[in-house]
């Protein structure tokens, strides 16, 4: 068995269902990516532009690189009961964040594969592994390696595996035999993902405005969620899977064998009222080694407050009243918005009491808007 074949066998043993190997070449899509950045579609993700020069060629991060091993690992576990997903008193968390932080889990597997390659190769080689945090256009190289095609929702879809998988890869300093998987399938005329997006974030096939995407709004955005978009977020408190859930190619998804991706206690449709008043210590403990920690406590509770406002149940007023006194302005402002959406005397009284002592300008504006909204409730 040659080295390429041995790498594929070992990769599959480690849980990577899809493997493709291609020679290292400069990016072919960098111009389109650069235009996407110029159009402002990256929103506040300034690091994407800062890393632009490195993404032009993988050899910017490993000068000796000659081959790219593109890999994909399935993270599909189960479909949440419709009764839970539709329950407005519970929060929806994107499937990829149900289990252990995929970065550390996949990086460990990639490191194991890189070590195998270094031990098996007949010459001394250098490697560099990447998940989605390295300055590599991983979707482009995955497509060129035959992992799948770049879909209208910007995910990579495989004709057999769908899109419920993470991408990763390894740059190696030797020329491997390239045997990219034959690329099959396409989106065709299907536009289900575009039509299903609650915020119309998919502007055109393969063009996503992150500033409108619920995943961006609930994870990457560090400030206030635009008021006009809050109602469309519904009870999505971390990420969004809608464009993948409606995709026909995902209809025959099979569960992953990687137990680390299965839901951890508390990450599967949690009750919103169990989350809104979490302390920093409770947040850190509950979401240790979870992707949810990326939103930080203030961002996560911001999302929970929005979901409570969309629930519009007065049972949430006491918890939101407490959140009005949170030490983070981001939490206080969105709690005020939620109380305005719920309305009622208790909500109005809580808002007015906070207004009398609030000093943060943005929060004051949120409270005044909420009070005006409240006046129309009853």
39 is catalytic: no
Q: Count CB atoms within 10 A of the CB of residue 108.
A: 13
Give the C-alpha separation, 272 to 92, whole Å.
Answer: 10
Among the options 39, 132, 200, 313, which is catalytic? 132
Residues pairing with 238 in the sheet: 93
DSSP-assigned beta bridge partners for residue 271:
90
- Check residue 271 and report its DSSP letter: B
- Contact criterion met (CB below 8 Å) for 25 and 67: no
Nearest alpha carbon to residue 321 among 359, 378, 270, 367:
367
What number of other Cβ atoms are within 10 A of residue 334's Cβ?
32
Written as six digits, the tokens of 193 are 């993902």
What 3 state SS string does 67-128 have?
EEEEEEEECCCCCCCHHHHCCCCECEECHHHCCCCHHHHHHHHHHHHHHHHHHHCCCCCCEE
Rounded CA gap, 211 and 177, in Å?
Answer: 41
Quote the Cα angle for 64-66-67, to 5°: 135
Catalytic residues: 132
């Amino acid at each position: 068995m040659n080295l390429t074949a041995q790498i594929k066998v070992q990769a599959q043993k480690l849980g990577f269902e899809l493997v493709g190997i291609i020679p290292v070449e400069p990016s072919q899509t960098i111009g389109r990516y650069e235009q996407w950045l110029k159009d402002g579609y990256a929103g506040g993700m300034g690091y994407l532009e800062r890393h632009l020069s490195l993404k032009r060629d993988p050899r910017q991060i490993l000068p000796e690189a000659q081959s790219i091993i593109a890999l994909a690992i399935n993270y599909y576990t189960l479909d949440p009961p419709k009764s839970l997903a539709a329950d407005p008193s519970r929060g929806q968390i994107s499937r990829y964040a149900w289990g252990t932080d995929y970065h550390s889990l996949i990086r460990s597997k990639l490191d194991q594969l890189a070590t195998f390659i270094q031990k098996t190769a007949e010459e001394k080689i250098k490697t560099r592994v990447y998940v989605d945090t390295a300055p590599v256009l991983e979707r482009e190289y995955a497509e060129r390696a035959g992992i799948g095609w770049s879909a209208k929702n910007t995910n990579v879809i495989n004709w057999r595996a769908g899109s419920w998988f993470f991408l990763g890869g390894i740059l190696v300093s030797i020329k491997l035999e390239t045997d990219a998987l034959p690329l099959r399938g396409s989106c065709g005329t299907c536009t289900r993902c575009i039509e299903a997006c609650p915020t119309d974030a998919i502007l055109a096939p393969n063009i996503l405005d992150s500033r409108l995407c619920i995943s961006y709004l609930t994870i990457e955005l560090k400030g206030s969620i635009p008021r006009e978009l809050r109602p469309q977020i519904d009870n999505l408190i971390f990420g969004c899977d809608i464009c993948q859930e409606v995709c026909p190619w995902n209809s025959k998804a099979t569960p992953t064998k990687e137990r680390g991706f299965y839901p951890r206690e508390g990450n599967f449709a949690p009750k919103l009222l169990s989350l809104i008043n979490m302390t920093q210590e409770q947040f850190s403990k509950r979401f240790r080694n979870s992707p949810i920690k990326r939103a930080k406590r203030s961002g996560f509770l911001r999302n929970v407050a929005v979901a409570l406002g969309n629930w519009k149940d007065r049972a949430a007023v006491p918890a939101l009243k407490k959140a009005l006194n949170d030490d983070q302005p981001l939490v206080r402002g969105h709690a005020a918005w939620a109380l305005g959406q719920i309305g009622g005397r208790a909500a109005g009284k809580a808002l007015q009491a906070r207004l009398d002592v609030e000093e943060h300008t943005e929060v004051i504006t949120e409270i005044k808007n909420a009070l005006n909204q409240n006046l129309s409730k009853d």
